């Protein structure tokens, strides 16, 4: 029987006045989500929370959670945010990136729009599964920019896709077969802006998911945490003896 241990946390960071990130931990349904309200746009905190709330309601009402259900729910959130911006923000945009993980009986599914990321740690190898929908990433793929230059480029904060920005939203999906021992990371860009993939890997190697996630956040704060930071760790384990009750399913929200 599949056992899942997860831990979620969000922090406003050391520079921003408010937290425009939001997260969702529905481990009993196999659903986790990170949403990052778009910096510089109006009501980013409202946008990210609307995405979270829309998915939460859909999952709780559903007899069975599927990629189709989650995709349709994200498209619904997109429509609601577009209407909200038109009605309340005088032409300004309330938008949010999103990355979502679904674990079913055999498979994992990442759904996303924007530059919030999904990673997989398997057999001591950490891979970014999602592909950033950003200006610099498109430049890297076109050979116009080296990947090591992307993080510090002047266009690093320009994303090309997000919930609530365009009436016609496309959600990317990548699926695969999960394996016992897999560790999944979902994060807003406030984490990977401060920590390299190699640094992230060092923390994910820890057996205790909650301690590993707290260490990730602590290191991000030590590095300066210029943006809001949200990270969720999810571990698949077939050995029930390795599941610590206190680490199950309960999201931790750190506000200070």
Domain range list for the chain: 3-247
The architecture (CATH level 2) of 3-247 comes to 4-Layer Sandwich (3.60)
| CB 204 within 8 Å of CB 215 | no
pLDDT of residue 74: 98
Categorise residue 181: left if φ over 0, alpha if ψ from -120 to 50, beta otherwise. left
Question: E strands of 55-193, at which residues?
Answer: 96-103, 107-113, 117-122, 125-128, 172-177, 183-187
Residue 20 makes CB contacts below 8 A (sequence gap 6+) with: 36, 37, 38, 39, 44, 45, 47, 48, 228
pLDDT of residue 97: 97
Q: Look up tokens 């923000």; give the residue.
A: 89
Helices (H), 62-208: 67-88, 135-141, 147-150, 189-192, 197-204
Residue 254 makes CB contacts below 8 A (sequence gap 6+) with: 9, 10, 11, 217
**How far, in Å, are 64, 70, 92, 110 from residue 51 at the CA level?**
20, 11, 18, 16
Question: Side by side, which strands form the sheet with 172-177?
Answer: 21-26, 31-37, 96-103, 107-113, 172-177
Where the chain has pLDDT below 50, the residues are 240-256
Q: Could you give the CA distance from residue 147 to residue 137 in angstroms, rounded to a whole number? A: 8
pLDDT of residue 73: 98
Q: Could you give the CA distance from residue 85 to residue 81 in angstroms, rounded to a whole number? A: 6
pLDDT of residue 152: 65
Select from 193, 195, 175, 198 the least CA-distant residue to 124.
198
Q: Look up tokens 């498209």; give the residue.
A: 75
At 135 the three-state DSSP class reads helix
| CB 119 within 8 Å of CB 185 | yes
**How far, in Å, are 14, 16, 19, 119, 255 from residue 226 at the CA level?**
6, 7, 12, 22, 15
pLDDT of residue 138: 73
Q: If you count them, how many residues does the chain have? A: 256
pLDDT of residue 134: 82
């Amino acid at each position: 029987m599949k056992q899942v241990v997860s831990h979620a946390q969000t922090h406003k960071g050391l520079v921003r006045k408010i937290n425009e990130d939001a997260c969702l931990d529905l481990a009993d349904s196999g659903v986790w989500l990170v949403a990052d309200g778009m910096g510089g746009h109006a009501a980013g905190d409202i946008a990210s929370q609307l995405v979270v709330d829309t998915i939460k309601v859909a999952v709780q009402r559903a007899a069975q959670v599927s990629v189709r259900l989650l995709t349709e729910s994200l498209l619904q959130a997109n429509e609601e945010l577009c209407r909200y911006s038109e009605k309340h923000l005088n032409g300004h945009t309330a938008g949010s990136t999103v990355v979502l993980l679904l674990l079913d009986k055999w498979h994992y599914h990442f759904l996303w729009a924007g530059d919030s990321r999904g990673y997989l740690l398997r057999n001591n190898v950490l891979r970014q599964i999602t592909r950033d929908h950003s200006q610099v990433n498109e430049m890297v793929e076109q050979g116009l920019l080296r990947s090591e230059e992307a993080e510090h480029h002047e266009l690093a904060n320009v994303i090309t896709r997000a919930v609530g920005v365009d009436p016609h939203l496309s959600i990317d999906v990548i699926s695969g077969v999960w394996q016992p021992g897999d560790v999944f990371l979902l994060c807003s860009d406030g984490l990977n802006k401060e920590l390299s993939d190699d640094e992230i890997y060092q923390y994910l190697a820890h057996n205790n998911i909650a301690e590993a996630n707290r260490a990730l956040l602590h290191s991000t704060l030590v590095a300066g945490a210029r943006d809001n930071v949200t990270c969720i760790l999810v571990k698949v384990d077939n050995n029930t003896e390795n599941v610590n009750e206190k680490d199950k399913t309960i999201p931790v929200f750190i506000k200070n």
